[in-house]
Amino acid sequence: APAAWSEVLDRLTARPPLAGLPGGMLVMGILNVTPDSFSDGGRTDPEAAIGAGRGLVAAGAGLVDVGGESTRPGGVAVTPADEIARVLPVVSRLAAEGVCVSVDTRHAATMAAVLEAGATVINDVSALADPGAAEIVAQAQAPVVLMHMRGTPQTMDAHAAYGDVMAEVLDELDAAIGRAVAAGVGRERIIVDPGIGFAKTAEHNLVLLRGLPALANLGCRVLLGVSRKGFVGAATGQARADRRAVGSIVAALPGLAFGDVILRVHDVAQTVEALRMWSALHGVVEGVIGPQGIGKFGK
């Protein structure tokens, strides 16, 4: 019955602006302040990281995602104290300069510290699994990314077994949404991420990307992170992660089925250029790519 669909339709069509930015396609620039991230680790000097963050914004990023712990397969876990020491100077400075800062963390203590320091968005690969994390996000009324993963970054490769990967990822994300809402997180503040490359084989990743429009059934904004990942290298034959920009952009195209997708990328300038071209081809005259938007084409 039409009435039964009204709540879902309202969620899909009347979502408020996210993180102070209007709806539309957004590019989230990746800023790792870790010594061991898979493609760009080693940027641990705060001043260098702050400069890199400014560069991401200048290139068109609408959000800068700061991470202090590598979540690559088999990455070394860090304590919340070490993570806070890495990210806090960067978050504080960028937020003070008006940058919309997201922090990639799975630790409740880090979430509390960075939200206090001015971060706007929490991006959690564990979907708020850490005790107290959901309550901290709820109290701050912060937008939060809930990503699908099984196990931890250290163990996830052992959990890449599915009967129907699309159905199981949807079910597990739906359960994560339910837990967050039960803890007081507003559903309109939840962003879902299918977790490409996390407890997934290369074939699982391709299946998820082919079926990505099914994520609309969850009624939340979608974040897609495919940038420089191993399955892109496998498909393109490009062994070097920092040379996978073209393959990464093509892999992200299924996400454009969502008008307000967030693309988490390393190569911001190239992604923005590709999205401008895609928008022009598809007649998208009102969209957002970065803080200044994409403008109106043909005028």
The catalytic residue positions are 229, 264
Q: Which residues contact 64 (CB under 8 A, 6 or more apart)?
A: 28, 29, 31, 53, 56, 57, 94, 99, 100, 101, 102
Do the beta carbons of residue 293 and residue 260 sit within 8 Å? no
**In whole angstroms, how far apart are CA 11 and each of 54, 189, 218, 257, 287?**
33, 11, 10, 17, 19
In 10 A of CB 27, how many CB atoms? 25
Do the beta carbons of residue 91 and residue 115 sit within 8 Å? no
Distance of CA 127 to the CA centre of its chain: 12
Three-class DSSP category at 212: helix
Do the beta carbons of residue 93 and residue 45 sit within 8 Å? no
Distance of CA 170 to the CA centre of its chain: 17
Q: How far apart are CA 17 and CA 298, in angstroms?
A: 26
Do the beta carbons of residue 282 and residue 268 sit within 8 Å? no
**What tokens appear for 2 in the block?**
């039409």
**In whole angstroms, how far apart are CA 296 and each of 80, 168, 203, 217, 284?**
44, 40, 38, 30, 8
